[in-house]
Amino acid sequence: MRLRFLVLAVLLPLSGVCFAQNADMPAADSSWLDFKQWGLLAIQDGGRRKPVDTFARETLIKITGRSTYKAGAKTWQAADFILSMLLDTHDWKTEPMILVSLGELKQRLGLPEQERRFSFAQLTALPELNALAGQAHALRKAEKSLSRLQSEVLSVTERLALFAHVMDGSAFLLAPAPEKTTDPWIVPPAFAQYYNEQQFAPVQTQLQTMANAYV
């Protein structure tokens, strides 16, 4: 089972999200879903506890520079976007959504200067971006000043890394430490560090209900 689905296995019983199937709505339409309780679920991000809704909104803004994302006729809200990434219901890798704002960098990468956002697949396939990122990371490690171009390179690579962590589920530190909430939280596949199988097993049956309702 992929990591993103294992993350959801622990999310479901805690969230109480209203994802009952509605036969009158097409599967691709998530507008009828109630994301409120899902958004209230706690997650640890950067060592801090915050609601999933806050994490989702911050993530979408970091990646795109906007609090919503329009793909075709649909405008994705942050909570919907995050859940779609987990369940892999949309081809997010090819969506032109990752912000690259500096014209100089776009010139170096051979990207259209009139465009501001590009896809994960497109950017990660650029050898020049990897080379520039290596140089910028080396300068930062040496505590040397960075040019505007190098700073933008680091920003773009951070957006790419965040996108990848959300997509593979590793960003979802949903399982809290049992003693102190300030201790490191874990992704659900690592539940055995804190919880036994008996505690974790019941959520498995709820996973398919959630997936069937959303996809």
Q: Are 157 and 181 contained in the same domain?
A: no
Q: Is residue 198 part of a domain?
A: yes
Q: Are 12 and 83 contained in the same domain?
A: yes
What pLDDT is attached to residue 66? 96
C-beta of residue 100 within 8 angstroms of C-beta of residue 111 = yes
Of the ranges 12-26, 39-53, 110-124, 195-209, the best mean pLDDT one: 110-124
Q: Are 186 and 149 contained in the same domain?
A: no
**Mean of the pLDDT values across residues 16-42?**
57
C-beta of residue 96 within 8 angstroms of C-beta of residue 163 = no
Contacts of 209 (CB under 8 A, 6+ apart): 12, 19
Sign of the CA dihedral running 82, 182, 154, 101: positive
Of the ranges 2-6, 20-24, 33-37, 210-214, the best mean pLDDT one: 33-37
Q: Is residue 149 part of a domain?
A: yes
Q: Are 85 and 102 contained in the same domain?
A: no
Q: What are phi and psi of 112, to 5 degrees?
A: -60, 125
Q: Are 83 and 178 contained in the same domain?
A: yes
Q: Are 69 and 130 contained in the same domain?
A: no
pLDDT of residue 23 exceeding 70: no
**90: its two tokens:** 């949309």
Q: What burial class does residue 86 get, using C-beta atoms within 10 Å of its C-beta: 0-12 exposed, 13-18 middle, 19+ buried?
A: buried
Q: Is residue 17 part of a domain?
A: yes
Q: Are 71 and 133 contained in the same domain?
A: no
**Mean of the pLDDT values across residues 114-121?**
97
Report the distance separating Cα 9 and Cα 160, nearest Å. 26
Instruction: Determine which of 26-30, 60-64, 198-202 has the lowest per-residue pLDDT on average.
Output: 26-30
Q: Is residue 21 part of a domain?
A: yes
Q: Are 84 and 178 contained in the same domain?
A: yes
> CB neighbours (10 Å) of residue 45?
16
The structural domain count of the chain equals 2
Q: Is residue 169 part of a domain?
A: no
pLDDT of residue 44 exceeding 70: yes
What pLDDT is attached to residue 54? 96
Q: Are 55 and 12 contained in the same domain?
A: yes
Q: Are 25 and 80 contained in the same domain?
A: yes
C-beta of residue 78 within 8 angstroms of C-beta of residue 56 = yes
Chain mean position to CA 14: 19
pLDDT of residue 77 exceeding 60: yes
Q: Are 133 and 34 contained in the same domain?
A: no
Q: Is residue 137 part of a domain?
A: yes
pLDDT in tens, 145-181: 999 999 999 999 999 999 999 999 899 898 888 888 7
Residue 209 — pLDDT band, cuts 50, 70, 90?
low
Q: Is residue 196 part of a domain?
A: yes
pTM, entire model: 0.82
Picking from 164, 189, 205, the residue at the C-terminal end of a domain is 164
> CB neighbours (10 Å) of residue 65?
15
Q: Is residue 65 part of a domain?
A: yes
Q: Which domain holds residue 59?
A: 3-89+174-214
pLDDT of residue 206 exceeding 70: no
What pLDDT is attached to residue 204? 58
Average pLDDT of every residue of the chain: 82
Report the distance separating Cα 35 and Cα 50, nearest Å. 16
Q: Are 73 and 114 contained in the same domain?
A: no
